Amino acid sequence: MIGHTVVRLEETPSTNDFAKGIAGRPDADGIVVLAGRQTKGRGRLGRQWFSPPDAGIYMSIILKRPLHGKSPSLICPALSLALAETIEYFSDLKPLIKWPNDMILNGKKAAGILVEKTNDIFVAGIGINLNTELHEFPEEIKDKATSLKAESGMDWDREEFLKKLFLISDGVLSGLSDGDHGELLKKVKDRSFTLGKTVKITDGARVFEGEALGFESDGSLLLKVADGKIINIRSGETE
Ligand code: BTN
């Protein structure tokens, strides 16, 4: 059960790092580490994750369960879907999932997911701009970032949101353990910000440009590049 134990911290450098430190516990699977603020919140590609006190949700889920087949690369879409469904449950917002890990509301990023691995145990970090005010965002992300409050006009109840997110994540991740990827990917496709668009994807030194056509069963992206060839991309940053 996701959230069978919730470790609540007022402040920590990064909930992902804290979670990795306790991932060896026998009951680690499903433990959630939650912080009021992070002093070294980490985004993908070594970026910082803006983590001001109490405005957002900064959490990490430890996943020690057996994940079927290639499904580890599906953790990101699975949790993005759980997040989207939780937002939809409480509001009329239409969250979209930008491959591989961004939650987009009205064209701007409201949440992100960072999955890391330690000794074959996955730690899925989720950062959500819940009640963050737009003027709080630092200059460099001001034009690209938003929050659930800014887009819905309402104050979000953190505890109610977390309860629902744990429940929905539990269902989605159980489906993953059972190998039930088809249904998951269909729901992700229905909410995709990426599919059908011409996108530029950077993966380290490699850059790919083309039309995003669909997903493979392992969650990787199918891209139609200039010469008409269809390539399969497992990870990267989408522009
Ligand atoms: C991204 O979009 O770049 C991923 C952002 C992930 C941020 C979360 S906040 C909780 C957890 N702890 C971290 O240091 N990072 C993740």
- Residue 19: closest CA among 47, 56, 49, 61: 61
Q: Which atom of ligand 1 is nearest to the CA of 59?
A: 10
Q: Please give the distance, rounded to the nearest whole angstrom, from the Cα atom of residue 116 to the centre of ligand 1.
A: 10
Query: pLDDT tens digits, residue range 9-31?
Result: 999 999 999 999 999 999 999 99
* 238 CB within 6 A, ligand 1: no
The sheet carrying 57-63 orders its strands as: 6-12, 32-38, 57-63, 121-128, 108-118, 102-105, 96-98
Q: Whose CA is nearest to atom 15 of ligand 1?
A: 42
Percent of the chain topping pLDDT 90: 80
Angle (CA) 173 70 193, round 5° = 65
pLDDT band at residue 181 using 50, 70 and 90 as cut-offs:
confident
Q: Please give the distance, rounded to the nearest whole angstrom, from the Cα atom of residue 111 to the centre of ligand 1.
A: 9
Q: Please give the distance, rounded to the nearest whole angstrom, from the Cα atom of residue 101 to the centre of ligand 1.
A: 10
What is the pLDDT at residue 197? 95
Q: What is the mean pLDDT of the chain?
A: 93
What is the pLDDT at residue 185? 92
Q: Which residue has the tokens 């990917």?
A: 185
Local structure of 177: helix, strand or coil: helix
pLDDT band at residue 71 using 50, 70 and 90 as cut-offs:
low
Residue 173 has pLDDT above 70, yes or no: yes
Query: pLDDT tens digits, residue range 136-160?
Result: 999 999 999 999 999 999 999 999 9
> Residue 80 belongs to what H/E stretch?
helix 75-90
Q: Whose CA is nearest to atom 11 of ligand 1?
A: 125
Residue 69 has pLDDT above 90, yes or no: no
Local structure of 74: helix, strand or coil: helix
> Residue 32 belongs to what H/E stretch?
strand 32-38
Query: pLDDT tens digits, residue range 42-54?
Result: 998 889 999 999 8
Probe target for ligand 1 pocket from 44, 57, 58, 98, with the most ligand atoms within 8 Å of CB = 58
What is the CB neighbour count within 10 angstroms for residue 171?
Answer: 13
d(CA 57, CA 26): 26
* 43 CB within 6 A, ligand 1: yes
What is the pLDDT at residue 180? 66
Which residues, listed in sequence order, are joined to residue 98 by a DSSP beta bridge?
102
